[in-house]
Amino acid sequence: MVNTKLIKIHQVVQLIILVITCSLVFARIYLRVIRDKRRAAEEWFIIFAAHLCLETLPKAFVPKYFAELRVLYQIGPWFYFGAIGAARMAIILFHVQLTEGFWVNKVARFMVWIIAAFWIVQFATYILGCTAEKRLSLSLTDGCPPLNESWDFWCSAALNIMADLILFVIPYPAITKITNRHLRLAVGGVYTLGIISIITSIARVVLLLVEPDKLANTITMQTAVETSLHVVVATIPGISGSFVKKYVTMKTKHARNDARSKAVPAPGAPNTYGGSTSTAGVEQRKPNRQHKVLVVRVDEVDDGDIELGEGRGGGR
């Protein structure tokens, strides 16, 4: 028999963690999607991750036998891979914005494809590792082998650790460049949660190697903590309006202005149409201003008199 009382306690703790996580996600949705009308890809990834976390609630029944517990283990990874993969995509896309202007930006852009590939491989190994019929079977002989004996589990576990190392190591060079000390500590603290996620992931693998059945409650708890930490890390930086305006939005504007300034040739530099640009050429781009000018008209009059008069002229 399974210790149902302990499982219920763990499920209450998981529910509390989920409520905190979803509250942060709802705050992000309101501030970034509803109020600021932002429709970036990372916002949708965060919403998708939170949705899959909520979908796990109806599946969180209290098993009475180890066969039911094994079924819970088999169907759980589907939601786990989806939620944690979507959160990772949101984090790596935020890395691309955070590292704009630094050398690590190219690495971050490349890692977007790496994280996406990891996500696809995890789902593929889950599908190929065992059929859906066997995963839902209560038979100890006809069902899928235990997780610690499944090749797809070890493959996904290795991908999880590698993905976390990529996600939570890349941004630190860019974080150190943040001039505001309080924001630097805040963002660094948020990403330090990822280190806790890595430790949790490694600890779960060790427990599965030791006694997966007796430590099932602890393993389930670690999975919930790891998933929630990823969603929290993806969500919190976007909630801070001052951080987004100063280090994401403004950075994009500066990059756009720099691109425009580079597009306008400097005085004296060769232009696209041949020749060179001059100060006069730049002056001609100014709007035509109407103003009074003193017109000096030399007429061939007697004794070479010079006749003065007023007239209107445009810009130079």
Task: Read off the tokens for 18.
Answer: 């989920």
- Does residue 143 surpass a pLDDT of 50? yes
Provide the angle, in degrees to the nearest 10, between the axes of the packed helices 66-98 and 216-239: 20
pLDDT of the residue at 72:
60
Confidence at residue 2, expressed as pLDDT on a 0 to 100 scale: 53
Cβ-count burial 150-179 (b if 16+ within 10 Å, e if not) = bebbebbbebbeebbebbbebbeebbeebe
User: Which conformational region is residue 283 in: left (phi greater than 0), alpha (psi within -120 to 50 degrees), or beta?
Assistant: alpha
Evaluate if residue 146 carries a pLDDT over 80: no
- For 1-20, what is each residue's pLDDT tens digit? 556 676 677 777 778 888 88
The CA-based dihedral angle spanning residues 154, 159, 165, 168, taken in that order and rounded to the nearest 10 degrees: -120
Span of 39-48, 197-206, 240-249 with lowest mean pLDDT: 240-249
pLDDT at residue 44 tops 50: yes
Which pLDDT value is given to residue 89? 92
Please give the residue that has the higher pLDDT: either 308 or 86.
86
Could you read off the pLDDT of 166-184 as tens digits, one per residue?
A: 888 777 777 777 777 777 7
The pLDDT value recorded for residue 280 is: 41
Give the model's pLDDT for residue 113. 92
More confident residue, 170 or 49: 49
Is residue 284 classed exposed, middle or buried when 0-12, 13-18 and 19+ CB atoms within 10 A define those classes? exposed
Q: Indicate the SS3 state at residue 31.
A: helix
CA distance 126 to 9: 29
Q: What is the pLDDT of residues 294-308, one digit of tens each?
A: 444 545 444 444 444
Cβ partners under 8 Å of residue 294, min gap 6 = 308, 310
Beta strands of the chain (E only): which ranges?
Answer: 291-297, 307-313
Question: Does the structure show a pLDDT above 70 at 121?
Answer: yes
Residue 279 CB contacts under 8 Å (≥ 6 apart), including other chains: 267
User: Which CATH architecture describes the domain 4-250?
Assistant: Up-down Bundle (1.20)
Higher pLDDT, 213 or 19: 19
**Residue 134's CB: how many other CB atoms inside 10 A?**
14
CA distance 159 to 116: 11
Q: Are strands 291-297 and 307-313 parallel, antiparallel or unpaired?
A: antiparallel
Tell me which of 16-25, 132-141, 238-247 is least confident. Answer: 238-247
State the distance between the two ends of the chain, measured CA to CA, in whole angstroms: 94
Residues 6+ apart with CB under 8 A from 98: 108, 171, 174, 175, 237, 247, 248
Cα dihedral angle (99, 103, 104, 107), rounded to 10 degrees? 120
pLDDT range class, residue 63, cuts 50, 70, 90: low
Rounded to an integer, what distance in angstroms lies between the CA atom of residue 30 and that of residue 38?
A: 10
For 11, residues 6+ apart whose C-beta sits below 8 A from its C-beta are 60, 62
- The two three-digit tokens of residue 34, written as one number: 């509803």
Selection from 54-63, 140-149, 160-169 with the highest mean pLDDT = 160-169
Give the mean pLDDT of the chain: 71
Percentage of the chain modeled with pLDDT above 70: 61
Rounded to an integer, what distance in angstroms lies between the CA atom of residue 26 and that of residue 13? 20
Distance between CA atoms of residues 121 and 49, nearest Å: 18
Give me the phi and psi of 291, to 5 degrees please: -155, 160
- pLDDT tens-digit map of 264-289: 444 454 444 344 444 444 444 444 55
- What's the pLDDT band for 64 if we cut at 50, 70, 90? low
For residue 261, which amino acid is it? S
Specify the higher pLDDT residue, 233 or 302.
233
pLDDT of residue 215 exceeding 50, the answer is yes
Distance in angstroms (rounded) separating the CA atoms of residues 71 and 59: 11
Q: What is the pLDDT of residue 179?
A: 75
User: Distance between CA atoms of 163 and 167, rounded to whole angstroms?
Assistant: 6
Q: Tell me what pLDDT residue 254 has.
A: 45
For the chain, percent of residues with pLDDT exceeding 90: 3
